[in-house]
Amino acid sequence: MSTIEKAKNVLINNLHIQNEETLLVLTDTALSDIAQYFVEAGRELGNETISMQMSTRSKSGEEPPRLVAEAMKNADVVLCITEHSLTHTLARKNASKKGARVATMPGVTLDMLEEGAISANAEEIEELTAKYCKVLDEGSTVTIEKEGMSLSFSIENRKSIASTGVFKEKGQSGNIPSGESYIAPIENSANGKVIIDGSIAGIGLVQEPIILEIIDGRLVHATGDQGKQLLEILGEGNGRIIAEFGIGTNKKARLTGNILEDEKVFGTVHIAFGSNKSFGGENEAGVHIDCLIKDPNVTVK
């Protein structure tokens, strides 16, 4: 099957694109070659397809230009094929509010279109994701334990998000490929230490485990060179506030260093720092960075 045919499958099976719907393919200088397959796919399906290319953002969660944000609000279906994630931006949130179905594919590679997370059984993902969302919605406190370290935080009165990678209704959004149940913790509630041993968005696979220390919801210390890199990306302000707790639900996802696929790996969880206002939190930071933990013990009470 050609790459254009695979792109058509994403538009049909994941985004359920309909006749007469307009498709906006948003890309940047880093991923414009891959985005072009989706542009061609949309046009071959007969949809009015608009391609927009912006400069590559510097980090996940950074807003696109205003012109791009306006275009996103005026399309029926938006596909964001960019180096860094637009999932947790106000531009994405406002487009969803206007009814656009928005799929984000940050850092997607041709290999990811061939196999891995995108080849998973959609029904299995939906079932697992719903199962873990139910656990999160019925709980009020989460504790992550690994190698003698423990991090606890409150999720009381916060609503979980089921990210399945299938978007049929107006205003739905999320990653493609997907498979995660996630929630915004109470921003000032996290305390303890946690070991990051999988990968970090914008950095890649962890070379040696990083210990993060969080006090009253704020990341105050990170060990090693990659920990220092993480702190630099997050900055000194609201970027260091805990933003997300997520559980991977895709049994085909692989740990590759690309957070788009990594955070979906079954048996992993991730925490993120920065913006979370787009999915039920209260923090805006212009950055959102996920940090992956392999095979932890997680308790939800």
* Residues 164, 95 share a domain: no
Q: How many domains does the chain have?
A: 2
pTM: 0.92
* Residues 270, 216 share a domain: yes
* Residues 258, 172 share a domain: yes
* Residues 123, 93 share a domain: no
* Residues 139, 37 share a domain: no
Domain boundary among 114, 139, 174: 114
* Residues 159, 101 share a domain: no
CATH code of 90's domain: 3.40.1830.10
Residue 78 amino acid letter: V
**pLDDT at res. 10:** 95
**pLDDT at res. 114:** 85
Domain boundary among 66, 93, 114: 114
* Residues 220, 135 share a domain: yes
**pLDDT at res. 119:** 86
* Residues 168, 101 share a domain: no
Q: Under a CB-based contact definition with an 8 Å cutoff, are residues 254 and 117 in contact?
A: yes
**pLDDT at res. 123:** 87
* Residues 66, 13 share a domain: yes
* Residues 71, 215 share a domain: no
Q: Are strands 161-163 and 199-200 parallel, antiparallel or unpaired?
A: unpaired
Q: How far apart are the first and last CA of the chain?
A: 47
109: left (phi over 0), alpha (psi -120 to 50) or beta: beta
How far apart are the C-alpha atoms of 184 and 17, rounded to whole Å? Answer: 30
CB atoms inside a 10 Å sphere around CB 115:
10
CA dihedral (98, 60, 176, 211) in degrees, to 10, reads -130
Chain position carrying tokens 């049909």: 12
**Which residues have a Cβ under 8 Å from the Cβ of 182 and sit 6 or more positions away?**
160, 161, 163, 244, 245, 246, 247, 279
* Residues 62, 139 share a domain: no
* Residues 220, 278 share a domain: yes
DSSP string, 53-79: EEPPPSSTTPPPPHHHHHHHHT-SEEE
Residue 207 amino acid letter: Q
Give average pLDDT by consecutive 10-residue segment, the chain, 301 residues: 93 96 98 98 98 97 98 98 97 98 97 89 93 98 98 98 96 96 98 98 97 98 98 98 98 96 98 97 97 98 97
**Which residues have a Cβ under 8 Å from the Cβ of 18 and sit 6 or more positions away?**
76
Domain range for 196 is 117-300
Domain boundary among 82, 114, 146: 114
